[in-house]
Amino acid sequence: MTLTVLTLFPDFVESYFATSIAARAVARGFIEYRAVNIRDFAQDRHGTCDDAPYGGGAGMVLMPGPLGRALDSVEALKKRTVFPTPSGNLLTASYARELSEERELVLICGRYEGIDQRIVDLYVDDEISIGDYVLSSGELAALVIVDAVIRLGEGVISEESLREESFNGGLLEYPQYTRPEVFAGMQVPEVLLSGNHANIREWRLRESVRKTKRNRPDLFARLDDDLKGIASDEGAK
């Protein structure tokens, strides 16, 4: 997959791709990326990319000229183009899965009050929100989307990790423990030390269902009745 990120802060984007899972995915050739500096497409000597909003009001808006030229330079009209914005459709695991099937994505990082609507109308296929709150930077939001997408790509992380994690099958993940067996007087659940894989699977499923019920009643409500019943089985807290 090729990811092209249009930004006023390319160093911010570069640092993500230089770290951890993303860096490994780049090194192994699973993904390629480009960070394109929108300011390189400004036409005045100050590199101006933003201006006051028509109609008045607070803040500045990214101008369509430099951003449009940056988008043309990466042939965005031929590619699935994503604009992260609080007013977009909510990012979910299944939305990330759908995006992960694309060969190429272009992401536009907004700043200030956002970008000129004509850029959205002309170039953007997906307006995506990462949650019901407002960040000051499109870079963080774009990289959240990138991270949620690339980890689903073949070979980036193990199939087993993906199978067992939250939102798969509509459940949150069960609690995890590692050494030592006793920490701050709290013992790791006995079943996890038993070596009995059937019992461990059963315990994990029950804990997943309970956690989903406790933390995300909206997800719990969508589970089938058999799974819901597990939350109230004997031993449930």
Answer for which of 4, 37, 81, 85 binds ligand SAM (CB under 6 A) is 85
In whole angstroms, the minimum distance from the beta carbon of 115 to ligand SAM comes to 6
Using CB under 6 A as the binding rule, whether residue 54 contacts ligand SAM is answered as no
Q: Which stretch binds ligand SAM (CB under 6 A): 30-38, 125-133, 206-214, 228-236?
A: 125-133
Question: Is 169 in a helix, a strand, or coil?
Answer: helix
Using CB under 6 A as the binding rule, whether residue 6 contacts ligand SAM is answered as no
Buried b (16+ CB within 10 A) or exposed e, 7-23: bbbbebbeebbeeeebe
Among 175, 171, 163, smallest CA distance to 224 is for: 171
In whole angstroms, the minimum distance from the beta carbon of 188 to ligand SAM comes to 37
Give me the residue label for tokens 């965005």.
76
Using CB under 6 A as the binding rule, whether residue 133 contacts ligand SAM is answered as yes
Say if CB 148 and CB 17 are below 8 A apart.
Answer: no
Answer for which of 26, 60, 93, 135 binds ligand SAM (CB under 6 A) is 135
Nearest to ligand SAM of 6, 227 (CB atom): 6
The two beta strands, 104-108 and 2-7, are parallel
Using CB under 6 A as the binding rule, whether residue 64 contacts ligand SAM is answered as no
The two beta strands, 186-187 and 182-183, are antiparallel
Rounded to 5 degrees, φ, ψ at 14 are -60, -40
Answer for which of 49, 141, 172, 209 binds ligand SAM (CB under 6 A) is 141
Say if CB 99 and CB 106 are below 8 A apart.
Answer: no
**Which residue type occupies 123?**
Y
Nearest to ligand SAM of 113, 173 (CB atom): 113
Q: Which stretch binds ligand SAM (CB under 6 A): 70-78, 111-119, 200-208, 227-235?
A: 111-119
Among 179, 77, 91, 80, smallest CA distance to 129 is for: 91
Say if CB 171 and CB 209 are below 8 A apart.
Answer: yes
Answer for which of 10, 66, 68, 84 binds ligand SAM (CB under 6 A) is 84
Using CB under 6 A as the binding rule, whether residue 138 contacts ligand SAM is answered as yes
Using CB under 6 A as the binding rule, whether residue 52 contacts ligand SAM is answered as no
Using CB under 6 A as the binding rule, whether residue 136 contacts ligand SAM is answered as yes
For Cα atoms 26, 30, 35, give the angle at the middle one, nearest 5 degrees. 45
In whole angstroms, the minimum distance from the beta carbon of 215 to ligand SAM comes to 21
Q: How many CA atoms lie within 13 A of 73 on its CB side?
A: 18
Nearest to ligand SAM of 83, 220 (CB atom): 83
Given the rule CB under 6 A, which residues bind ligand SAM?
Answer: 84-87, 109-111, 113-114, 129-131, 133-138, 141
